[in-house]
Chain A
């Protein structure tokens, strides 16, 4: 048994958390034994345990709030003219989603292949890259309104996904903080 457990001061290093886990029954078997021993030997731990048990028992006794007497009637009136919406699964066909995804991936790959096809790979030079980026004629690649619109949509989608990703990260960070 770890003797450090005995010396850990109350209120520090998650003592309450360990006691709550013990009370909730979520401690591991080993941890349970350690805590039981501490409760037998340490008066401070016993006192804290009693205190948390009391809070736990009070929390178990909290009362539910009751809505008005008309509550059910109001809900039933609210749904009277409504229809249950069809299950999401019934109108979202996974094959269509996959089809759209494959279509866009094919388009992107097609553009990349076309772009690389424009590069003169046989151009001579020892260390220089075979194209002079300053002299690339971009109008060759973006000479069509539809292509420009398509690229713009991709950029917007990319920014949207980046925003979602960063928002999720921020949420996770807040939860962990």
Chain B
């Protein structure tokens, strides 16, 4: 019994962590390239959930496909938000711009949450999928189908992002802009465009994560609050700005949340996460995958 139960806890933790991981790499990418702490990341996730919901309601698109279909519109949205708002407070002297960025993204978060509450009402919505309440049985261990699909898709998307960053010219240019904006601009890399690209991709990824989440989690305007802190913890845990780090950070959070329950009562579930977080920061202040100099 005990072993099967332990396996169930580990599997559950990893499945939950998969979506945290996808949420977190968008945030990690944006921070890595632009040095912007995007407080509105969770709100874009919420919008991604709503878009997936509307796809499902208006066009009967399965949310797993709907999640992928959120990528293009949210990339464009991210690009526009960068052009119109963020580009005004990024670049230039980082020390001076920092406060403006924080206030801008925090403000954006408030505006998005409240506008959504006003326009779409606070009534929670949900997409009913058959797989949300079904499980793959591996002996005594049950894998929730919705979470398994979401996990696999999160893995694939994260893999694609990694390949894009390491194997394509554009990806390399993006990393160059992250490593040293000044040197990159000497190499004819348009840093501003790279920032727009990073923000677009970061927003698209978190929207897709929202779409995957929507296969089993209700959608409401303030859903971001349930996840944003975990996203930040994942990104810092993995090493600020590191994409593999953010991914592993997300997985670890899911795992720790789940395994904490073996030793602590439910009310202390997130205590486990923060204890692990503090331990990592104490032993390895740059995060698990972080280098002393922050890079993608």
Partners in one complex: no
**Which residues does A use to contact B, with CB under 8 Å?**
none
**Which residues does B use to contact A, with CB under 8 Å?**
none
